[in-house]
Structure 1
Amino acid sequence: MNGTFDERISQNNILEKKPFRKEYEVTQTIYENGEDKTRISFVAEVERFDAFTYSINRKNMLINGQPPDSLVEEISVKTGNIFFPLKLQTLENGNLKQISNQDEIRARWHFIKNEFLQYYNGKGAQEIIKTIENELASKNRIQNRILNSFFYRLYFLPFKDYIEEKDAYFDLYLPVFPFKNKVKFGIKTGEFKLSENGKLRMQISGECTDSRSFTQMINNRKITASDEQKCSGKAELVYQFNKEDGSVFSINADVVLIGEDEKNERQIIFETNTK
Structure 2
Amino acid sequence: MSENLSNINLLEAVNVKLEPQGFKGIYGCMIEFQSESKMNFLKFKYSYEYLGNKNYSGHIFKINRFKDIYINDKSPQNFIEDISIEVSETLYPLEVQCNHSGGFKTIRNFDEIKKRWHKKKKSLLSKYKNESVIKYINVFDKSMSFEELFIEKMRNDFFLSLYFQPIFKYYTAFYKIESTLKFPIVGTSKQVCFKVNQRLDENHLKENEYRIIMDGEIEDERSLTDLEQKLDYPIYNSDSIEDKGNCQITYQLNNISKIIEGIYAEFNLNFGNTRKVVVKMFLLE
Same structural fold, with TM-score higher than 0.5 when normalized by the shorter chain: yes
> Cα distance, 1:78 vs. partner?
1.7
**For 1:171-250, what aligned pairs fall within 5 Å after superposition?**
171-193=180-202, 194=204, 199-221=209-231, 222-224=233-235, 226-228=237-239, 230-250=242-262
Which residue number in structure 2 is paired with residue 49 of structure 1? 51
Which residue number in structure 2 is paired with residue 66 of structure 1? 74
Moved more, 134-143 or 183-192: 183-192
Q: Which amino acid aligns with 2:215?
A: S
Cα contact 2:33–2:274 (8 A) shared by 1? no
Question: Quick one: which of 14, 34, 44 aligns to 2:17?
Answer: 14
2:268 pairs with 1:256: yes
Q: Residue by residue, what CA displacement relative to the aligned partner does 1:102-143 show, whole Å, maximum 9, x if unpaired?
A: 111111111211221244323322222221221111111111
Moved more, 52-61 or 204-213: 204-213
The CA RMSD over aligned residues, in Å, is 2.7
Q: Which amino acid aligns with 2:217?
A: E
> Cα distance, 1:214 vs. partner?
4.1
Question: Quick one: which of 87, 91, 97 aligns to 1:79?
Answer: 87
> Cα distance, 1:242 vs. partner?
0.6
Cα contact 2:104–2:161 (8 A) shared by 1? no
- Which blocks of at least 5 consecutive residues in structure 1 are unaligned? none
Q: Residue by residue, what CA displacement relative to the aligned partner does 1:219-258 show, whole Å, maximum 9, x if unpaired?
A: 3323225444645211001111012321101011111011
**For 1:74-153, what aligned pairs fall within 5 Å after superposition?**
74-153=82-161
Aligned equivalents of 1:2, 1:86: Cα separation in 2:
42
Q: Which amino acid aligns with 1:53?
A: I
Q: Residue by residue, what CA displacement relative to the aligned partner does 1:45-103 show, whole Å, maximum 9, x if unpaired?
A: 11112241110111122111112122222222222221111012222222233211111
Aligned equivalents of 2:255, 2:169: Cα separation in 1:
18
Larger strand proportion of the pair: 1
In structure 2, relative to structure 1, the CA distance for the partners of 1:92 and 1:226 (3 Å cut) is closer
In structure 2, relative to structure 1, the CA distance for the partners of 1:29 and 1:266 (3 Å cut) is same
Aligned equivalents of 1:41, 1:246: Cα separation in 2:
25
Which residue number in structure 1 is paired with residue 56 of structure 2? none
Aligned equivalents of 2:80, 2:126: Cα separation in 1:
16
Calculate the TM-score normalised by the size of structure 1. Answer: 0.87
Secondary structure of the structure 2 residue equivalent to 1:181: coil
In structure 2, relative to structure 1, the CA distance for the partners of 1:270 and 1:185 (3 Å cut) is same
Q: Which amino acid aligns with 1:103?
A: D
Count of residue correspondences: 271
Cα contact 1:23–1:45 (8 A) shared by 2? yes
Cα contact 1:237–1:254 (8 A) shared by 2? yes
Cα contact 1:181–1:217 (8 A) shared by 2? no
Percent of counterpart pairs with the same letter?
A: 23
- Which blocks of at least 5 consecutive residues in structure 2 are unaligned? 54-58
In structure 2, relative to structure 1, the CA distance for the partners of 1:73 and 1:244 (3 Å cut) is same
Secondary structure of the structure 2 residue equivalent to 1:49: strand
Provide runs of 4+ in structure 1 moved above 4 Å.
Answer: 1-13, 162-165, 195-198
Cα contact 1:180–1:218 (8 A) shared by 2? no
Aligned equivalents of 2:171, 2:82: Cα separation in 1:
40
Cα contact 2:171–2:200 (8 A) shared by 1? no
Calculate the TM-score normalised by the size of structure 2. Answer: 0.84
> Cα distance, 1:199 vs. partner?
3.5
Moved more, 87-96 or 136-145: 87-96
